[in-house]
Structures are given as structure tokens and as C-alpha cells.
């Protein structure tokens, strides 16, 4: 069983099928390459394109881009596109690990508040211990990863649905964020740490602005692109990627052939926690302080971005690139409405419409790909 070919039907399986078919039509192993029927190769390439998980989201993103390019003045300016990319990156950093988790057959309702928890731990530890803020950043990483491991451990040990496990974590973190902040700081927000040692260097890593060709580019865009590249490599080029597709496609079958299901799922939840840590540090070092009630509801946006990008709720299908395109769709819509000077109250309507249309398009593409096999 090669699970990777389930998640990326247009990858190795499509190419291999085309090559073997071409050899057969060419008249056997002794036939030269010049006699290969090129129509078979073209069909194989078309089948591979149709089977790509992110195809529907790419088509949708192009349509949204062209639409706002016409209706929103200034949308095509370099500064406007930079703003779009920044809005996309703040979602995309989390959408990438959430997509991997969904490919593995699970999802995480605590991802939104975990971002805030990460920022709160970093801020309060640094302030209360009067330590270099990098100490707080390190402690935050350990705590956040531990929460992710807790989600995965409880899930695999109890066999409870991820909805129940992560909903429980969501409620606990929501209460802890508010309770600990009020207990330690006597208010719902943390104290500012902007004047503490290490703050400038931490801000440079997590919340700086770079100038590229005279255009301001947020460092979160680089974090986002790096995570997309890393996740794509893991999914398509490593044994771990095969395991992720396998446990999402059929957990029992994966276990039967020796896939470490529990370790894979725990690792995926820790991946979501790592993304939450990056997003949390960006939140903290962008504003110096954190509101304890932030993050609630963002978990749905991360899931929506992954679904728009081609991930299935049932698992076993999707890609990191698709989640990035889903996040880009979110960024273009949220900022395009502003540039077009429309009422922002309509944003949720457009987001819901994109979700339905992208899901329908992805289902149609999958059926077309299966029909051409």
C-alpha cells in the first residue's frame, strides 16, 4: 500500500500509469522511445492535473483575484498585495499544520485559543520572572508542544473522537487563559514587555517588517512559505508523509501493515501546536501585550482554509499547497472587500460561499479524476 498516492493521485501513480501504458502501446521492451503513443502521455498528464487536491482552490483563487482586480481600486498595487499576503500568512501559518492533521483523519478545535495560550505563557513568564523574553519564548514552546502532545495522547489512548477531545481542550484553555491572566495580572490582558531585554531581537524574528523593492513585507510571510515547503516535503518525500496519508485513509489497514498510528497522530497534533506557537509569538511581539479572550473562533477559519484547499473531513486527501491557497483566498476576500469599499459585514457570507463552492468543485474534480482512471 502506498498511501501517498491516495493523497496525491496526480503524483507517482499517474506518471507510472502513463509510462507503462506508453510502453505497452509501443510494442514491448524492444521498441524505441520514438514509437510511444504521445496521446497516452497527454491523457496521463491531464489525469494527474485533475487529481491534484488543490486544483479546485487554485481555480477559485484565480477567479477571486481577477474579480477584485476589476472591482477594487488599488487591489493590484504592490502595497495592497503585500497586505493581502500578510493577512493570508496569519491564517496560513496555522492552516498548514491543520491541513496535515486533517489529512491524517483528525481535526483540532483548540487551535485558535492555543495561539493565545502560547502568547500568554511567553508574556507572563517573561514579565513575572523578569527574565530575558527569549526565556519566555522557550518556555512557551515547551508548554504549547505539551498541550499538542496531550491532545494526541488522549485521542489515541481513549479512542474518543477528535471533536470531543479537542472541544474539551478548547474549553479548558479558554478558561485557563482568562483565569490565569486575571489571577496574575489582575486584568484580562498581560503587562507590556516592550522594554524588556531580548524584545527587539524577538520582534525581529516573529513580527518584523522587511523592505523588498520598496514594498513592506511582513516576516510572517516567510514563516508561512517555509512551513508550506517543509510540509510539502514531509508529505511527498518522506515515510512520515506515507504514514499521514495511511492513517487518514484507513487507520486499521495502516496499523495492520506496521504504521505507528499513535505516534503519527501525536506528532500531527504537536505540529499544530508548533504552528500555534509561531502565531502566538507573532501576536505578542506585534502588540507587546495580549488579550486573554483572543483566538476564539479562529480554529474554524483554519479548518475552512484547509477544506477550501482540498482537504477532506474524512481524511486521507489534501496537500500543504492547497491549504496555502485556501489561506490566500481568505486574505484576498477579507482585504478585497475593504479595497472595494464594501460593507465588511458581508465577509462571512463570502467566506461561506467560497467554502461551499470550493467543496463542490473539489468533489467534481475528484469524480472526474476517478472516471479517467
b (16+ CB within 10 A) / e for 47-82: bbebbbbbbbbbbbbeebbeebeeebeebeeeebbb
Question: What CA–CA distance (Å, rounded) separates 347 from 120?
Answer: 29
Residue 119 has pLDDT above 80, yes or no: yes
- Residue 206 grid cell: 516573529
Question: What CA–CA distance (Å, rounded) separates 17 from 5?
Answer: 12
Q: With cut-offs at 50, 70 and 90, classify the pLDDT of residue 270.
A: very high
pLDDT at 99: 96
Highest averaged pLDDT of the listed ranges 24-28, 199-203, 291-295, 311-315: 199-203
Q: DSSP state, 345? A: G
3 state SS of 315: coil
Asked if 264 and 255 count as a contact pair (C-beta separation under 8 A), the reply is: no
User: For residue 89, which of 236, 233, 207 has the smallest C-alpha distance?
Assistant: 207
b (16+ CB within 10 A) / e for 127-154: beeebbbbbbbebbbebbbebbebbbbb
Asked if 6 and 245 count as a contact pair (C-beta separation under 8 A), the reply is: yes
Q: Locate cell 481535526: which residue?
A: 107
The fraction of the chain above a pLDDT of 90, given in percent, is 57
b (16+ CB within 10 A) / e for 339-348: beeeeeeebe
pLDDT at 51: 61
Q: With cut-offs at 50, 70 and 90, classify the pLDDT of residue 60.
A: confident
Residue 131 has pLDDT above 60, yes or no: yes
Question: What CA–CA distance (Å, rounded) separates 54 from 154?
Answer: 31
User: For residue 303, which of 327, 282, 279 has the smallest C-alpha distance?
Assistant: 327
Rounded to an integer, what is the distance from CA 72 to the centroid of its chain? Answer: 27
pTM score over 0.95: no
Read off the pLDDT of residues 138-163 as tens digits, 9 standing for 90 and up: 999 999 999 999 999 999 999 999 99
Torsion angle (degrees, nearest 10) of CA 339, 340, 345, 346:
-130
pLDDT at 175: 95
What is the phi/psi pair of residue 301, to 5°?
-65, -40
Mean pLDDT, range 249-259, rounded to an integer: 94
3 state SS of 250: coil
Residue 113 has pLDDT above 90, yes or no: yes
Residue 31 has pLDDT above 60, yes or no: no
Q: Is the dihedral of CA 345, 349, 350, 352 positive or negative?
A: positive
Amino acid at each position: 500500500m502506498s498511501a501517498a498516492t491516495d493523497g496525491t493521485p496526480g503524483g507517482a501513480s499517474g506518471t507510472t500509469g502513463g509510462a507503462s501504458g506508453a510502453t505497452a502501446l509501443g510494442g514491448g521492451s524492444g521498441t524505441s522511445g520514438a514509437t510511444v503513443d504521445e496521446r497516452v502521455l497527454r491523457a496521463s498528464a491531464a489525469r494527474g492535473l485533475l487529481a491534484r487536491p488543490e486544483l479546485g482552490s487554485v481555480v477559485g483563487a484565480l477567479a477571486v483575484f481577477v474579480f477584485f482586480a476589476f472591482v477594487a481600486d488599488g487591489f493590484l498595487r504592490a502595497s495592497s498585495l503585500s497586505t493581502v499576503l500578510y493577512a493570508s500568512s496569519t491564517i496560513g501559518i496555522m492552516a498548514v499544520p491543520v491541513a496535515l492533521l486533517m489529512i491524517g483523519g483528525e481535526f483540532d478545535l483548540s487551535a485558535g485559543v492555543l495561539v493565545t495560550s502560547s502568547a500568554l505563557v511567553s508574556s507572563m513568564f517573561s514579565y513575572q520572572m523578569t527574565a530575558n523574553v527569549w526565556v519566555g519564548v522557550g518556555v512557551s514552546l515547551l508548554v504549547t508542544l505539551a498541550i499538542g502532545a496531550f491532545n494526541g495522547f488522549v485521542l489515541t489512548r481513549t479512542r474518543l473522537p477528535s471533536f470531543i477531545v479537542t472541544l474539551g481542550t478548547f474549553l479548558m484553555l479558554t478558561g485557563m487563559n482568562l483565569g490565569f491572566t486575571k489571577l496574575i495580572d489582575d486584568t484580562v490582558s498581560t503587562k507590556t514587555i516592550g522594554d524588556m531585554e531580548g524584545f527587539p531581537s524577538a520582534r525581529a524574528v516573529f513580527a518584523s517588517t522587511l523592505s523588498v523593492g520598496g514594498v513592506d513585507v511582513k516576516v510572517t510571510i516567510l514563516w508561512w512559505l517555509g512551513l508550506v515547503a517543509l510540509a510539502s516535503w514531509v508529505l511527498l518525500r518522506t515515510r512520515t508523509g506515507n504514514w499521514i496519508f495511511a492513517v487518514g485513509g484507513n487507520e486499521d489497514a495502516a496499523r495492520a501493515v506496521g504504521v505507528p498510528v499513535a505516534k503519527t497522530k501525536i506528532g500531527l497534533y504537536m505540529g499544530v501546536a508548533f504552528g500555534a506557537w509561531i502565531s502566538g509569538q507573532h501576536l505578542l511581539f506585534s502588540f507587546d501585550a495580549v488579550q486573554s479572550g483572543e483566538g476564539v473562533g479562529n480554529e474554524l477559519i483554519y479548518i475552512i482554509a484547509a477544506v477550501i484547499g482540498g482537504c477532506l473531513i474524512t481524511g486521507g486527501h489534501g496537500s500543504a499547497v492547497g491549504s496555502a491557497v485556501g489561506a490566500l483566498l481568505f486574505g484576498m476576500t477579507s482585504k478585497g472587500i475593504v479595497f472595494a469599499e464594501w460593507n465588511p459585514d458581508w465577509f462571512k457570507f463570502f467566506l461561506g460561499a467560497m467554502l461551499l463552492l470550493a467543496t463542490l468543485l473539489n468533489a467534481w474534480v475528484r469524480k472526474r479524476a476517478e472516471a479517467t482512471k
